Amino acid sequence: MTDPLAVLAPLRATITSSTRICALTGAGISAASGVPTFRGGSESLWENVRPEELATPEAFHRDPAKVWRWYDWRRGMVAACEPNAAHHALVALEAACDRVTVVTQNVDGLHQRAGSRQVLEFHGSLWTLRCLGCRREVENHVTPLPPLPACDVCGGLMRPGVVWFGEAIDPEVMRASVDAVGDCDLLLVVGTSGLVYPAAGLARAGKESGATVLEFNLEEGGVSAWVDHFVPGSADATLPLLVPEA
């Protein structure tokens, strides 16, 4: 495997002169915290059910209790995890750069717990519930939850405040994310398979807007063809190499 330092050393000047950095992150950034990724690996399975079969509105309407059991299990698991060196490296970059925006596909809240100040949750959050009756959204960190959580106001069924397959990204989050990738000079694509759209399209959009695009991953994936440099390795080992004096 290529030495990540050998990839990054010639880029030192590009990195240190960047004034606007955007990080597009995926499940791989939280892997070292103990949060399972979605694809590749038996640990990503829950009760022998594939995430793709649970993360849909159809699955929720068919069997809300089953989908809630999965989310409740994940909430409990994530609550017991801590941000890792990769999350902390993005926070440390804020000291060295005018603006750092994290666009995360993750719903675990670990970037915020690490201290990142500008986080766009592209696929929502495990810690938000939305009422199917009155559409009210609430922040909720109770774990475990009752089997079918109900709205305090109208008694309707609450659903996880995440974006499932076939659902639209929140338009404001979409706009802010497109702005962030279009407006940065350095785009870090970290720990995502680059298979899920429209998130994966943000990497290409960044490239087309003139950013230098670095990908940090164990292996090449769906967006690697668009990036300028691929930095191999676990993100908790490679992202800290970006931080000055690291």
Q: Which residue in 5, 49, 80, 195 binds ligand BJW (CB under 6 A)? A: 195
Q: Which residue in 197, 225, 244, 246 binds ligand BJW (CB under 6 A)? A: 197
Q: How far is CA 117 from CA 92, 93, 125, 186, in A?
A: 11, 11, 16, 18
DSSP-derived 3-state class of residue 98 = coil
Residue 87: count other Cβ atoms within 10 Å of its Cβ.
30
Among the listed residues 28, 37, 22, 32, the one whose alpha carbon sits nearest the alpha carbon of residue 191: 28
* Torsional sign, CA 139, 149, 36, 76: positive
Residue 52 CB, nearest distance to ligand BJW (Å)? Answer: 7
Residue 219 to residue 122: CA distance in whole angstroms: 23
Residue 125 near ligand BJW by CB under 6 A: no
Q: Which residue in 154, 195, 225, 246 binds Zn ion (CB under 5 A)? A: 154
Residue 36 near Zn ion by CB under 5 A: no
Is 87 a known active-site residue? no
Q: Which residue in 107, 120, 151, 186 binds Zn ion (CB under 5 A)? A: 151
Residue 56 CB, nearest distance to ligand BJW (Å)? Answer: 9
Place of tokens 């063809």: 225
Residue 181 to residue 124: CA distance in whole angstroms: 18
Residue 98 CB, nearest distance to ligand BJW (Å)? Answer: 26
Residue 32 near ligand BJW by CB under 6 A: yes
Catalytic residue among 88, 111, 123, 141: 123
Residue 206 one-letter amino acid:
G
Token reading at 61: 């309407």
For binding to Zn ion (CB under 5 A), which residues are involved? 131, 133-134, 136, 151, 153-154, 156
Interface residues toward ligand BJW, by CB under 6 A: 26-28, 31-32, 37-39, 55, 105, 107, 123, 162-168, 191-193, 195-198, 216-219, 221, 234-235
Residues noted as catalytic: 123
